[in-house]
Amino acid sequence: MCTISLNIRGIGQLGKISWLKRICHNEKPTILGLQETKSEHTQDNIIDSFWYNSDFKFVQKDSIGTSGGIITIWDCNIFSFDYAIEGEFFLTICGSWAGFDSKIALINVYGPHSSSKKLRFWSELTSLANSLTFPFIIFGDFNEVRNTSERMNCEFNQQWANNFNNFINNSGLIDLPLGGKKFTRICIKRMKFSKLDRFLIFDEIFKLWPNISSKTLDRDLSDHCPILLRNTFADSGPKPIRVFDTWLDLKDADSVIARAWSIPTTGNRPDCILRNKLKNVKMELKKHSTQLDNLDSQILDHLNAINEREALAETRPLTEIEKNKWLNEKCNNPTR
């Protein structure tokens, strides 16, 4: 299983689709939950532009103007959708996972900021959790923390944290430890850090995926990190031709494949001829990919530098020089 959650902070903003495409093509999620899409109605072609195959469906909770918005996307080859439940602060999909008899619910949340709405949020989620008769996972941006260690340079409200903890405990949920970075939301200009994004797991989920774990992915064009949930033991790792898959996304890949396929090959048997043609395609795509190696290397080095500074900022205050370099790296991000 592979589920990714991300507060995208505006799906239509510059560079966001390219970022989502990199995430989806690298991780191949079965479920992708986006929060704060700031989109009143997202079209199929938008999802198609970043999803990694053509067998997907999605449901969405429209934003109110440019405020809020939730989208949940799934791979139809693995998740069979039955119905959706929409609340004020969440969007739930219910259905079946390939290979399991039990139904499952995935609850994508975007928590409110105000005190009065937070109380409605927990009440609404509690009612939903009590109504479900099968395993479920709650994930997303809860806009709340559980204790003081989950904030740095931010105001902490003990009562709000108590309400969050009471909801988790009373609902019998497990707050899955999040590997990677300590904080999931970063305000660079004000140097504020919070852990607002997480996966809450109903214990029956562990019968389906006993080695489930979660971690943060590198942050890029949002102030939130994507978070990843997967069954680490069951995953077989990258398939042998994964790099070949990435070549197919290169510019002019279709014409390169057509040219390579037309190269004469030797062999007496059809299977030998096919094998040699595939070798030609692979070699030509590999040569073609070197044209972009320098740009890819620059992008990777740039993102690594940004994430190294963010990791350092979690351990100590940055100097003014370090902070200015961090801001410059974000402003000059080559992925934008």
Mean pLDDT of 207-214: 92
Instruction: Write down the pLDDT at residue 92.
Output: 98
Is the pLDDT assigned to residue 300 strictly greater than 70?
A: no
Contact 94, 105 (CB under 8 A): yes
User: DSSP E strands: which ranges in 8-87?
Assistant: 31-35, 56-61, 70-75, 79-86
Is the pLDDT assigned to residue 239 strictly greater than 50?
A: no
Predicted confidence band at 243 (pLDDT cuts at 50, 70, 90)?
Answer: very low
* Stretch among 79-83, 201-205, 238-242, 269-273 having the lowest mean pLDDT: 238-242
Predicted confidence band at 235 (pLDDT cuts at 50, 70, 90)?
Answer: very low
Predicted confidence band at 297 (pLDDT cuts at 50, 70, 90)?
Answer: low
What lies within 8 Å, CB to CB, of 318 at 6+ separation is 191, 309, 312, 326
Which residue has better confidence, 135 or 296? 135
Mean pLDDT of 63-88: 93
Burial environment of residue 34 by CB neighbours within 10 A (0 to 12, 13 to 18, 19 or more): buried
Q: Please choose, from the candidates 304, 291, 311, 289, the residue with its C-alpha nearest in 3D space to the C-alpha of residue 335.
A: 304
Q: Is 89 helix (H, G, I), strand (E, B) or coil?
A: coil
Place of tokens 């108590």: 162
Cα→Cα distances 27→109, 146, 230, 332, Å: 21, 29, 10, 26
Q: Name residue 79's amino acid.
A: F
Predicted confidence band at 212 (pLDDT cuts at 50, 70, 90)?
Answer: very high
Mean pLDDT of 124-145: 96
| CATH code 3.60.10.10 region(s) in the chain | 2-231
Q: Please choose, from the candidates 180, 198, 209, the residue with its C-alpha nearest in 3D space to the C-alpha of residue 314.
A: 180
Is the pLDDT assigned to residue 309 strictly greater than 90?
A: no
Distance from C-alpha of 196 to C-alpha of 153, rounded to nearest angstrom: 14
Instruction: Write down the pLDDT at residue 261.
Output: 87
**Region of 318 on the Ramachandran plot (φ > 0 left; ψ -120 to 50 alpha; else beta):** beta
Distance from C-alpha of 31 to C-alpha of 76, rounded to nearest angstrom: 10
Crossing angle of helices 293-313 and 320-331, in 10° steps, is 140
- DSSP 8-state assignment for residue 112: -
- DSSP 8-state assignment for residue 311: H
Q: Name residue 177's amino acid.
A: P
Q: What percent of the chain has pLDDT above 70?
A: 85
Place of tokens 């299983």: 1
Mean pLDDT of the chain: 85
The DSSP H or E segment spanning 174 is strand 173-175
Q: Give the Cα-Cα-Cα angle 219, 222, 225 (nearest 5 degrees).
A: 35
Which residue has better confidence, 83 or 63? 83
Distance from C-alpha of 123 to C-alpha of 156, rounded to nearest angstrom: 21
Instruction: Write down the pLDDT at residue 325.
Output: 73
Distance from C-alpha of 215 to C-alpha of 207, rounded to nearest angstrom: 20
The CATH number of 2-231, from 3.60.10.10, 3.40.190.10, 1.10.645.10, 1.10.150.20, is: 3.60.10.10
